[in-house]
Structure 1
Amino acid sequence: MPQPAVQSPEWWRDRLYKKLCERSKQTDKYDAYYECEHPLPFLHERARDPFRRLLEMSRANYMELVVDALVGRLEVAGFQSGADGSSDEAAWRLWQDNGLDAGSQLAFLEAAIRGEAYLLTAPPTGNQQGVQITPEHPTQAITEPVPGNPREMAAGLKLWLDDWTGMLCATLYLPNALYKFQAKEPQHGQQPQWTRREVAGEQWGAANPLREVPLEPLSNRPRMLRPGASELKSVTGIQDRINKTIADRMMTQEFAAFPQKWVTGMEIPVDENNQPVQPFDVAVNRILMAEDTGAKFGQFAAADLTGYLRGCEKDVQDIAAITSTPPHYLLGSLTNLSAEALKAAEAGLIHKVYQRRRFLEEALERTMRRAGVASSDARVVWKSPEWRTEGELVDALVKMSTLGVPREVLWERWGATPQEITRWRQLNEDALDRALAGDVAAEYGPKPTATAEPAPAAYEG
């Protein structure tokens, strides 16, 4: 079968489909670790089946905590534009109309797990009212930049399985056109046999009204020559160590934690076949007795589990150090920790959140500009990732106000969204207008006239 011409729609389709499958195969590992589907700890094959239940119980999922600690502090509060930093109402309205309060959280989560996620912008078509922005899973979408210009996308592919028809569907996005394909779901290891997917009322190879690839990648900790990477990339091996330590501890608990008894100086009883039998049925509520005068009883020391517990704790501390996750999140220990100590423990996580946000906000701003609702200077406003008590925050803001910091800046530091700041500003202006109107009326309004007393009646003699 002849190969398609370079940069033809078929060439881009096959190229991006291959890259998507390869990347999904690599990142499926991190998705499994997040979902606590870790590989079972190592054990000899002859012992795996009898002890499978113990092995499955040994999986302690610290990977979910690592990801959720980051994603839980990535929350968009609004958009600002203009020199005065006023709220961009059009951008926020589109954000709300597309349900991106929740949708963005899904995209951030997948980006943290697999390294990449996407936002797809679709202009109004048919019954669709307004621009539509949807989060796309990294196993169903991929882009490729122009060589030498990583910010300009040359092509993008969206792939999904239609459960109603059993067909594998794909849409190729090029800057000047859209091409739609379909194929029967391929068997494992086989390549799909693509055909054109015709849509009623739409020509194949339809024009792209946006004039650019509408897929925007959300990258988690990208590098200059590498795409985004999973938050779990460096710590899955440590998770395996923890699972192995827990499995060994549970084996020890099963067979050596209960003190083993011993006896000497007595004759072992036998059954009718002259085979030795167990002389005692040991239990908590039973005692051991022997008629032999020389019999002696004793017990071995129970297995010490301290080494297993310390080993597990050390591995958890390694995860905390590598991922900048506060240790008390993973260890669950808050004994005698002051507010200053807690804040210091979370400093690494806060720094990581700010660092991850820099790459995400660039993608969000480009998406809103592509949708035609955000100005060139629009920026994303995030909710603060720092958790402070209300007393601490109020005290800091009062001190800042004494230095002449504008009130609206204090509102931002308080955590007010751009929409709330706009509303508060309007309320202040309305109150000022009412106050000024009252002062003007008091100064220049009509003076109240005194009621004249009736003249005394004439005397009639």
Structure 2
Amino acid sequence: MTASVTPVALARRLLAILSRDGDRLRRIDDYLHGRHDDPYMPPQADDEYRLLARRAVSNWMPLLVGTPAQALYVDGFRRGAREGGLPAQVETASAEWEHWQRSRLDARQAAIYRGALAYGHSFAVTERDTAGLVRTKGLSALKTSALFEDPANDDVPYAALTITAMPKGDERGRARMWDARAEYAVTFRGLDDEQGITVTRVRSHGASECPVTRFASLVDLEGRTIGVVEPMIALQNRINQTIFDLLVAQTYASVKVRTATGMAPPIRRDPETGEPVLDEDGNPIPLPINHNARRFLFAEDPDVKFGSLDETPLGGFIESVDMSIRHLAAVSQTPPHHLLGQIANLSAEALLAAETALSRKIAEFRTAFGECWERVFRLAVELSGEGGSNDYKGEVIWRDMESRSLAQAADALGKLREQLGIPAKGLWKRVPGVTQTEFEDWEELAEDEDSVRQLSTALTRATPDRSVPEAA
């Protein structure tokens, strides 16, 4: 894009992107929150059918998003090597990590991951607040758009816009927009109303590039972002249809039907005259037959025959649901036991094999999101005036979220220490569940113990041994 593009033209294009993608993103949002398409039913379906259709919704989408998102947790940041030296140690006192804690991203990072996994992308803006402190916060994909010169390869947007209030009645909508130099306030009458847009420059944001970062779970070479929900909608509809058919069969055909032939049903009669009571069309009104499991059917006419219609077997429907869920697990790379809850009689090797595809998918997400966080950290130190704004060798540290027993990990770490000679301190971060704060506490305790040990050794050497008799 050329530098001559005006802020108003940028706002028009960014709002047009939201208008273009709005239906697709809202459909994804509906499926994520259980608002699915109705299963097929006859055109003359009554209210009872529609009630069964509502109950047939079995929403698997939150699980497909939450399973990988729960394995994504940034636990630290390591700056890159300086002038050919060794990489810096992970420190909680660094400017990058202070910005992280100030932004409360320990908890808020999950919403950014879930948005990117569900819709294909989410955003974060890094800026100074009213107190002059640098903070980062997430932005919704439903209300935010960004322009890239090369959407497939660029990580720096040319401009970005997020809606803060939608138009309502005579009240105009409001939005914030950023380019490489400044922040703007945007008002608009509608996403497609190009003439009703006004743009006002608010301030210079202080960064050398647009302060909005896109978190994309997967970007193809056409620049399209793909989440985990949209490709699974067809499978979700199949599961809902099968469960609806199961509920219909269970409601209407899951019990034996008793039949009687050669016998007219009893009719309602006038208690005084004994004459049949007729309806509006002149037909006798039949009496309801009160039949249940405690009652026995009989008839005086010997020509009456009783029979029964067998119930519809439900096993085929249940197997079909199970098959569809297995297809969902295979296509989404989610372990089947996460969806089906069947973990009995599975060996450790079988569980590891089932988790392999999910682990590879999580590794791919960590690589993509890690690059995004590194840009956020560069923006943060630039806005705060600290060094490191050009640190492209920094590394995000992800917490090890694999479930392993402490005894198993301790045994493996002990073997690494004894057989390969790896220093014990180098293995501390391999302990399951250890945080950066705990790691630094261990370092301080180790230094204290080492100081006490050195003092004890020095005193032992300086004190003569009284148990040895002195030479005459």
**TM-score, normalising length from structure 2?**
0.85
- The code of the aligned residue for 2:32 comes to Y
Amino acid at match of 1:30: I
Q: Which moved more, 1:142-151 or 1:95-104?
A: 142-151
TM-superposed deviation, 1:247: 0.9
Q: Would you say 1:424 and 2:442 are equivalent positions?
A: yes
Contact 1:87–1:419 (8 Å) recurs in 2:
no
Local SS of the residue matching 1:152:
coil
Is 1:364 matched with 2:373?
yes
Amino acid paired to 2:354: A
Q: Which residue of 2 aligns with 1:437?
A: 455
Report the alpha carbon displacement of residue 170 of structure 1 after superposing the two structures with TM: 2.0
State the partner residue of 1:155: 159
CA apart distance, 1:307: 1.5
Percent identity of paired positions between Structure 1 and Structure 2: 26
C-alpha change, 1:51 and 1:238, in structure 2 (3 Å) is same
1:308 correspondence with 2:320: no
Equivalent residue for 2:184, pick from 165, 176, 179? 179
Residue by residue over 1:16-53, the C-alpha shift from the partner in whole angstroms, topping out at 9 and shown as x without a partner, is 11112222321211111111111111223321544211
- 1:58 corresponds to 2:56: yes
Say whether 1:236 aligns with 2:236. Answer: no
Contact 1:30-1:230 within 8 A present in 2 as well: no
1:412 aligns with 2:447: no
Shift of 1:420: 2.5
Is contact 2:180-2:210 (8 Å) kept? yes
Q: What is aligned with 2:256?
A: 259
Aligned in 2, Cα 1:254/1:248: closer, same or farther, shift over 3 Å? same
Please point out which of 8, 12, 15 is paired with 2:10. 12
Q: CA deviation at 1:113?
A: 0.6
Select between 279-288 and 53-62 the one with higher mean Cα deviation.
279-288
1:205, distance to aligned residue in structure 2 (A): 5.6
Q: Quick check: 2:57–2:240 contact (8 Å CA) kept in 1?
A: yes
Cα deviation for residue 142 of structure 1 reads 2.0
Q: 1:190 to 1:169 in 2, by over 3 A?
A: same
Q: How does 1:58-457 map to 2 (within 5 A)?
A: 58-81=56-79, 82=81, 83-89=86-92, 90=94, 91-124=96-129, 127-147=130-150, 150-161=154-165, 166-184=171-189, 186=190, 190=193, 193-197=196-200, 204=201, 206-271=203-268, 272=276, 273=278, 275=284, 277=286, 280-372=289-381, 375=388, 376=391, 377-402=393-418, 403-415=420-432, 416-444=434-462
Match of 1:285, SS state, is: coil
**Aligned-partner Cα distance in 1 for 2:193–2:155:** 33
- Distance in 1 between the 2:287 and 2:65 partners? 53
Measured after TM superposition, the shift of residue 446 of structure 1 is: 9.4
Structure 2: how far apart are the matches of 1:75 and 1:167? 39
* Deviating more after overlay: 223-232 vs 362-371: 223-232
Ranges in structure 2 where 5+ consecutive residues have no aligned partner: 269-275, 467-472
Q: Is the 8 A contact 2:64 2:334 kept in 1?
A: yes
**How far did 1:238 drift?**
0.8
- Bigger drift between 170-179 and 109-118 goes to 170-179
Report how far residue 159 of structure 1 moved. Answer: 1.8
Q: CA deviation at 1:340?
A: 2.4
Unmatched runs of 5 consecutive residues or more in structure 1:
198-203, 449-461
Structure 2: distance between partners of 1:355 and 1:294: 75
Deviations 1:206-247 (A, max 9, x none): 333112100000001222322321102221101101111111
| C-alpha distance in structure 1 between counterparts of 2:314 and 2:437, whole Å | 56
Task: Work out the CA distance in 1 between the residues paired with 2:11 and 2:147.
Answer: 11
CA RMSD in angstroms comes to 2.6
Once the two structures are superposed, residues 284-303 of structure 1 have per-residue CA deviations (whole angstroms, 9 ceiling, x without a partner) of: 22221212233332211111
In structure 2, the residue corresponding to 1:261 is in which secondary structure? strand
SS at match of 1:51: helix
Pick which of 108-117 and 413-422 moved more: 413-422
| Number of residue pairs aligned between Structure 1 and Structure 2 | 434
Aligned residue type for 1:12: L
Say if 1:119 and 1:134, in contact at 8 Å, map to a contact too. yes
Which segment drifts farther, 57-66 or 204-213?
Answer: 204-213
Return closer, same or farther for 1:169/1:279 CA change in 2, 3 Å cut-off.
Answer: closer
